[in-house]
Amino acid sequence: MMEFQIGDKVVHCVYGVGEIIQIEKKILAGRSVSYYRVQIRDLTLWVPINGTGKQSLRLPTSASQFEERLQVLGSTGELLSEDRLERKTQLAEQMKNGTLESLCCVIRDITSYGRSKKLNDNDHTILERAKNLLLEEWVLSLSVPLPEAQRDLRQILEDGSRITK
């Protein structure tokens, strides 16, 4: 049974917010396989409907759940390893999870780490990627303009509070 329909907004665990634009069957190694054709910015992905592909797509987080997940950003973070390779592995595992909560944890933990230690290039890269993925879903889930989401994220990370209207 198919979870998504053409026109559904989805979140890909690696590439972020996109839209199902087609459902296609392709012959691969002599077998017919069904795929979601997902458009994400200027990227087109074919995600298998059955098997591992299904875990890489999810529906955008609802507004109420999104607000709850944002509280993670202001909470006490997990300590990241001082060893850059261990830290890289730690963060990569969290990013692979693909959930909104894991993105918030990555942003919180790297930001917290950066208050007392110098971030390396990999830390900065992962932090920016996590922020961009979070902001894409923020704009979609809360129906706010990107500059407002960016401002609110900055404020949450600076003092742990959320701006309310």
Fold match, 9-58 / 63-159: no
**CATH annotation of 63-159:** 1.20.58.1290
User: Burial, 148: exposed, middle or buried (Cβ in 10 Å; 0-12, 13-18, 19+)?
Assistant: middle
Cβ atoms of 97 and 130 closer than 8 Å: no
Q: What is the pLDDT of residue 56?
A: 86
**Alpha helices per DSSP H over the chain:** 52-55, 63-70, 84-97, 100-116, 121-142, 146-159
Cα separation, 95 vs 77, in Å, equals 15
Q: What is the pLDDT of residue 164?
A: 45
Q: What is the pLDDT of residue 33?
A: 87
Residues 9-55 pLDDT 10s:
999 988 999 999 999 998 888 888 899 999 999 999 999 887 665 57
Class of domain 9-58: mainly beta
Reported as a pLDDT band with limits 50, 70 and 90, residue 89 is very high
